[in-house]
């Protein structure tokens, strides 16, 4: 898989980028071209960089500078780690290069703005969307910001998918090659579009998560059509799965069953503690001969109405997919998707929000067709479609992101955080990563820990 990922870099170089992008591509670290991308002051910053498969490190690099008239430089006051960052750690996402700054979720304070930025000023508190949108194309006009046509010129993605997604922060050259926000500073193209002002009554420990996890969870629930009276099953009890459980009840679900197991089984207890109405299913505790599908049909006649995939396609459960993934015969396992399809009622709805990057084997297309199952790719969540409404929910108290917040660490220890998060260790759920620019912890949120 790693060889495939690196081979894609050479292929993209040979093919060349498309001509659709209106923002500079492949600016994943200012040190790649100090004269072109680094602040002329020579100021240095800490940043988390990819250093090869299963290796990241906190490095010292140069502070970025404004390179486009609509750019904004943000002093990062909060970032985090996401399950999809682990796909980068493992080299499962193609076109990573050593030294790429990672991180697609961050908030901070505006430090400086380009001459064409109109709505933001130095000192404004802001959160960035994980996708980079132009605000003007066909998709942006409909607030479908994750599918912007003008911020990602990658040719391989266009060939593989039949179209491109938007550019994304810290998520490889496959999505445009933009330096991420697990750093002390970040450059945000089209800052007027991709930054949302945070009001004073919303601390960073809540506002940060508008960048991805809240919008992604809401999109999963809404796009899959969870409605009043539904029984919902959720695969994965990480932050996305946890918030999908909470949001399914907000949408009127009658029952919510969250599924997890193995080294992550402790997350089921956390979900139950924070959302007591939720039910849990630990697949590692099932007796021999009992599958997730059969257990769900035992718990609910015919199975759930809706299944939500909040895990990802790189984690094999059986030996066949394990070896096929290892040998590069597929990029994603179909096991969880097949469980969802066979578990829901006839004409049930299945939504995929966990990251799948390529191709899969042994897909149960027969059950999908014969039983009328609706399989929905939720896509990378269009943050701009939801984040203003979600901000209002945070302000009125109907949505509390801190129910998933378990730890606070310093950016200097983020390489350790990656390894522990990958191991599902120390009961790490959602983490707030502070920098030298961060305020003290908000009331009721975790204090700083250290592994040193």
**CA 94, CA 301: separation in Å to the nearest integer?**
42
Q: How many residues does the chain have?
A: 452
Q: Do 214 and 392 touch, CB atoms closer than 8 A?
A: no
**CA 196, CA 187: separation in Å to the nearest integer?**
15
What pTM value is reported for the model? 0.94
Give 122's DSSP letter.
T
pLDDT digits (tens, 9 = 90+) for 188-219: 999 999 999 999 999 999 999 999 999 999 99
Whether 155 shows a pLDDT value over 90: the answer reads no
Question: Among 219, 262, 265, 318, which Cα is nearest to 338's?
Answer: 318
Question: Among 81, 135, 122, which Cα is nearest to 105's?
Answer: 81
pLDDT given for residue 3 in this prediction: 54
Structure token digits, residue 451: 């592994």
pLDDT given for residue 16 in this prediction: 73
Tell me the three state secondary structure of residue 401: helix
Mean pLDDT in residue range 276-286: 96
How large is the angle between the packed helices 239-250 and 266-274, nearest 10 degrees? 30
269: left (phi over 0), alpha (psi -120 to 50) or beta: alpha
Strand ranges inside 129-241, DSSP E: 131-132, 167-168, 185-188, 195-197, 231-235
Pick from 147-161, 352-366, 397-411 the range whose average pLDDT is largest.
397-411
Q: How many CB atoms lie within 10 A of CB 216?
A: 30
Whether 296 shows a pLDDT value over 80: the answer reads yes
Q: How many CB atoms lie within 10 A of CB 88?
A: 24
Whether 396 shows a pLDDT value over 80: the answer reads yes
pLDDT given for residue 335 in this prediction: 87
Tell me the three state secondary structure of residue 363: coil
More confident site: 267 or 452: 267
Whether 174 shows a pLDDT value over 60: the answer reads yes
Query: What residue spans of 118-254 are helical by DSSP H?
Result: 138-141, 155-161, 191-194, 204-207, 213-223, 239-250
pLDDT given for residue 5 in this prediction: 58
pLDDT digits (tens, 9 = 90+) for 308-349: 999 976 677 777 777 777 777 777 888 899 999 999 999 999
pLDDT digits (tens, 9 = 90+) for 5-15: 567 766 777 77
Question: Among 52, 28, 32, 404, which Cα is nearest to 183's?
Answer: 28
CA angle at residue 399 from 398 to 403, to 5 degrees? 130
Residues 6+ apart with CB under 8 A from 396: none
Q: What average pLDDT is seen over the chain? A: 93
Structure token digits, residue 410: 């310093």
Whether 176 shows a pLDDT value over 70: the answer reads yes
pLDDT digits (tens, 9 = 90+) for 437-448: 999 999 999 999
Helix (H) or strand (E) holding 127: strand 125-128
Q: 295-313: b or e for each residue (b if 16 or more CB lie within 10 Å)?
A: bbbeebeebbbbbbbbbbb
pLDDT given for residue 385 in this prediction: 97
How large is the angle between the packed helices 239-250 and 213-223, nearest 10 degrees? 50
pLDDT digits (tens, 9 = 90+) for 125-151: 999 999 999 999 999 999 999 999 999
More confident site: 173 or 350: 350
């Amino acid at each position: 898989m790693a060889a495939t990922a690196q081979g894609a870099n050479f292929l993209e170089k040979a093919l060349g980028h498309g001509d659709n992008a209106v923002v500079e591509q492949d600016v994943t670290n200012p040190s790649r071209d100090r004269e072109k991308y680094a602040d002329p002051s020579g100021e240095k910053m800490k940043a988390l960089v990819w250093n090869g498969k299963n290796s990241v490190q906190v490095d010292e690099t140069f502070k970025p500078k404004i390179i486009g008239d609509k750019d904004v430089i943000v002093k990062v006051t909060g970032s985090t780690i996401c399950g999809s960052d682990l796909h980068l750690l493992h080299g499962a996402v193609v076109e990573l290069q050593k030294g790429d700054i990672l991180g697609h979720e961050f908030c901070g304070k505006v430090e400086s703005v380009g001459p064409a930025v109109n709505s933001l000023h130095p000192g404004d508190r802001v959160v960035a969307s994980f996708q980079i949108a132009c605000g003007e194309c066909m998709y942006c006009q409909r607030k479908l910001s994750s599918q912007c046509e003008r911020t990602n010129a990658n040719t391989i993605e266009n060939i593989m998918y039949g179209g491109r997604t938007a550019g994304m922060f810290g998520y490889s050259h496959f999505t445009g090659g933009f330096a991420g926000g697990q750093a002390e500073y970040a450059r945000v193209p089209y800052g007027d579009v991709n930054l949302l002002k945070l009001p004073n009554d919303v601390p960073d420990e809540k506002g940060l998560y508008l960048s991805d996890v809240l919008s992604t969870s809401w999109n999963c629930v809404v796009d899959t059509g969870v409605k009043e009276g539904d029984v919902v099953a959720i695969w994965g009890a990480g932050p996305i799965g946890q918030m999908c459980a909470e949001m399914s009840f907000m949408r009127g679900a009658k029952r919510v069953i969250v599924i997890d197991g193995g080294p992550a089984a402790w997350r089921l207890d956390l979900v139950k503690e924070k959302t007591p109405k939720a039910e849990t299913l630990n697949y590692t505790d099932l007796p021999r001969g009992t599958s997730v599908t059969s257990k769900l049909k035992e718990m609910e006649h015919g199975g759930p109405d809706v299944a939500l995939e909040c895990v990802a396609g790189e984690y094999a459960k059986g030996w066949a997919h394990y070896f096929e993934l290892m040998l590069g015969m597929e990029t994603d396992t179909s096991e969880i998707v097949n469980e969802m399809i066979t578990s829901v009622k006839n004409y049930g709805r299945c939504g995929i929000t966990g990251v799948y990057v390529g191709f899969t084997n042994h897909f149960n297309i027969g059950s999908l067709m014969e039983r009328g199952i609706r399989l929905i790719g939720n896509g990378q969540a269009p943050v701009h479609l939801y984040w203003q409404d979600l901000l209002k929910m945070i302000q009125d108290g109907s949505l509390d992101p801190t129910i998933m917040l378990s730890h606070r660490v310093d950016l200097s220890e983020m390489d350790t955080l990656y390894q522990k998060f990958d191991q599902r260790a120390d009961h790490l759920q959602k983490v707030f990563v502070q920098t030298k620019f961060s305020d003290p912890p908000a009331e009721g949120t975790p204090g700083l820990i250290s592994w040193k």
